[in-house]
Amino acid sequence: MYDLIIVGGGPAGSAAAVYAARKHLKTLLITSEWGGQSVVSEDIQNWIGTPHISGTGLAAQLEGHVEEYATGFVTIHSPRIASALAVAPGSISVTDDKGERHEALTLLIAAGSTRRKLEVPGALEYENKGLTYCASCDGPLFSGQDVVVVGGGNAGFETAAQLAAYCKSVTLLDRNESFRADPVTVEKVLAKPNVKARHFAQIEEILGEQFVTGIRWKHQESGEETLTPTAAVFVEIGLIPNTAWVGSELALDPIKRIIVDPKSQRSSHARVWAAGDCTDGLYHQNNIAAGDAVKALEDIYLAIHAR
């Protein structure tokens, strides 16, 4: 019986593991990878205290920090994935993808999320053949060429800004009436001479031969269809929380994120907390995920020892 099980090895899960070790909680950390989604980033500039770090560099730092504190308190199961959750009056149990069942007094879910896929004709056929979900990984391959970004949130605009540095032109297509990205980000990115954006753009089809050659989209108000030639399509249309394994044990919002109390990160179950991209928090960033996990650990420690 553990005091705590942590699911996830991104900024939230790693921060929680370090704090759990410092508080001498007997802890099991289950993670399929370190670093979370940031592992694909070439240059993270907003990890506080570190002006520039790669995603793989951040992942290595997180893993190293946890391992330094792990001895005697934190058992690391990696790479493993949580596959089922069961709750009981006095404990929580998590079964991993190797069929092992682990039991604890409390659980912190920091499982993160995965990228939402574009589901239109041609998207699957041309994935990794010009259609990509990782500008940091594939963007430089299209230096000097015309490219398209799908998505009007912060991720879409950040991708457009990155591509604008070396691509001939960047066209950002967003299906909404207004962009969801921060206004200051929108203003700065659209001020770049080789970036343009279109509202009400409903993606209809990805076109290509051996590789992507264009994207067909329809204006949702006028119904007019446009074929935009492009060498690549970079998709940034949101995230899917990694919560399928939770089942019906916890209260989830309509998109399956875990509903938490923002004061404590506690879920609908008295022995389960959550932090990071898998929660219904208003904002999702590395620093916020780590902070929310620390908040959860403070509450978990009190729940075990003082309540």
Number of other CB atoms surrounding residue 77 within 10 Å: 18
CA dist 56 and 53 (Å) reads 8
Per-residue pLDDT tens listing for the chain (307 residues): 999 999 999 999 999 999 999 999 999 999 999 998 878 676 777 899 998 888 899 999 999 999 999 989 999 999 999 999 999 889 999 999 999 999 999 999 999 998 889 999 999 999 989 999 888 778 888 999 999 999 999 889 999 999 999 999 999 999 999 999 989 999 999 999 999 999 999 999 999 999 999 999 999 999 999 999 999 999 999 889 999 999 999 999 999 999 999 999 999 999 999 999 999 998 888 999 999 999 999 999 999 998 7
Collapsed DSSP state (helix, strand, coil) of residue 163? helix
CA dist 35 and 64 (Å) reads 11
Phi (first) and psi of residue 242, to 5 degrees: -85, 70
The predicted structure's pLDDT at residue 42: 66
Token duo for residue 245: 């394994």
| pTM of structure | 0.78
The predicted structure's pLDDT at residue 82: 96
* Calculated CA dihedral for residues 24, 25, 30, 34, nearest 10 degrees: -40
The predicted structure's pLDDT at residue 29: 98
CA dist 38 and 114 (Å) reads 11
Query: From its phi and psi, is residue 35 left (phi > 0), alpha (psi between -120 and 50) or beta?
Result: left
Q: 12: closest CA among 35, 44, 46?
A: 35
CA dist 268 and 64 (Å) reads 33
Q: 82: closest CA among 239, 250, 238, 237?
A: 250
Question: In sequence order, what are the residues at sequence separation of 6 or more whose Cβ sits closer than 8 angstroms to the Cβ of residue 271?
Answer: 87, 91, 92, 105, 106, 107, 303
Cis peptide before 51 (omega within 30 of 0): no
Quick one: how far is CA 257 from the chain centroid?
12
Token duo for residue 26: 């007997």
Token duo for residue 42: 């070439």
- Using an 8 Å Cβ cutoff, are 29 and 49 in contact? no
Token duo for residue 175: 């299906």
Q: Is residue 128 within a helix (H) or strand (E), and if so which, with residue range?
A: none
